[in-house]
Structure formats: C-alpha cells, structure tokens
Structure 1
Amino acid sequence: MAYAVIKTGGKQYRVQEGDTLDVEKLEAEVDSEITFNEVLLHGEGDTVKVGAPFIDGGAVTAKVVDQFRCAKEVAFKFKRRKGFHKTKGYRRHMTKLEITSIG
C-alpha cells in the first residue's frame, strides 16, 4: 500500500489512502477537496522517493470532513518559592481530513 509524508501546519504526517487525521485549521469548506503539494516522502512497496525538501509533482488529495475545536488544553505557569501560579485553558481549532488519493 502506498504511503506519503506530508507537511501542513508546521507538522509532518504519515498518511495512506483512507486515513483520517486531525490537523491545524485549514481555510476550506466541509466536503471540499484539498491538495497538499508539500510531499516530503513517497513510498510504495520496496521503492521510496525522498524529496529535497519536496518531491517534484508529488501530491496528496484529501476531503475535508469537519471543522471543529479539540478538547481543552491547559497552559500552567508557576515560579517556585514565590507563590505564583497561573492557569489558562484554550481550545485549538482543527480540521478533520480523509485522505482520498496519493500521487
């Protein structure tokens, strides 16, 4: 089965056809198609193509399944021996993708 490593949102993801993954928010409508041209690696069977930094003509197509906010995460700061404690929560905006093709 073919797989690829793509770059989006400052992170790298290993994907195959049919995979669903959550990435940093992308400006796209639900049920639309997105093409990722920043393909770092493509592998199929025993052959592996590695880009420098990207593969020429490499593309991964994905369908946008949902736009959502993930579970609350906590940023906690403190300074020892000073009695300083600060807690702040936040929820990141995310996009759920389903990989449709790797080329």
Structure 2
Amino acid sequence: MKGKNMYAIVSTGGKQYKVATDDVITVEKIEGEAGSKVELEVIFLNDGKKIVTDPAKLAKAKVTAEILEQFKGEKQLVYKFHKRKRYHRLKGHRQQLTKLKITKVQATSRAKKTTKVEEPEAPVAE
C-alpha cells in the first residue's frame, strides 16, 4: 500500500508527530546508538486513499526509523525571583534529543506466514 501521499501520526516521548517516508524529525531521547533502527507506535495512518484509526489494524502498521544522532537541545534558563527578599536563582537545562530519519511507513507488517507443523508424539516407555 505504498502511496504518494501516505503518512502516519506516531507517538513518542509523550508527543505526536506527522511523518512520511524520508522525513527527518527531532524527538525526545530514544535509547540507541547512531545508525540503529527503531519502531515507533502508530496512532493514525493515511495511505492516500483511506484513513485507518482502528487499533486492531494499527497494530499491524509499522513506522521504522533510523537514529541519525543523539544531542542536547538549546539551553533553557529558569529564573526565580522574590521581590524585596534578595532571592535570585538562575538555573539552566538542556534537553537530550534524538534526530530520526523515517525509513519506512508500512500499512501492514508483511511477516511471512508460517504453517503450523505438528510434531509426532514420542512413544511412551512402559
């Protein structure tokens, strides 16, 4: 079901992102080395013809991404101040982030179907 306008909405780090194949997104830190592959949770899928929101069908959908780099974001300053009390506090924070490249948006995971092979029962020793 590859479509020209195929996209998915994925959830990671408590946020949602609209992604398509070959997109590069910055998300909150995901454990892993640069070059490793990760799968993201799909919560919405549009293949250009139909929209999929059914959780049973979305469980089969896959969005695969490759970690490009791990880095820290811009410094955010937190300044606390109480007037007339000589109270000043300045604190900085840099969020750890991950840059991802979306490699594949797939409507269904095409796992090979395996046929169930029955093993013959072992003879019972008397």
Does the alignment reach a TM-score above 0.5?
A: yes
Conserved 8 A contact 1:40-1:53? no
Number of residues paired by the alignment? 102
CA, structure 1 residues 50+80, in 2 after alignment: closer, same or farther (shift >3 Å)? farther
Rounded Cα–Cα distance in structure 2 between residues aligned with 1:51 and 1:7: 16
Rounded Cα–Cα distance in structure 2 between residues aligned with 1:77 and 1:86: 5
Moved over 6 A (4+): none
TM-score under structure 1 length normalisation: 0.86
More strand by share: 1
What is the CA RMSD across the aligned residues, in angstroms?
2.1
CA, structure 1 residues 4+85, in 2 after alignment: closer, same or farther (shift >3 Å)? same
CA, structure 1 residues 76+55, in 2 after alignment: closer, same or farther (shift >3 Å)? farther
Larger Rg: 2
Q: Identify the structure with bigger relative contact order (alpha carbons < 8 Å, sequence gap 6+).
A: 1
- Listed as ranges, the matches of 1:17-56 within 5 Å are 17-36=21-40, 38-52=41-55, 55-56=58-59
Correspondence for 1:75: 78
Q: Which one of the candidate residues 96, 102, 105 is aligned to 1:102? A: 105
Rounded Cα–Cα distance in structure 2 between residues aligned with 1:70 and 1:45: 34
Conserved 8 A contact 1:39-1:54? no
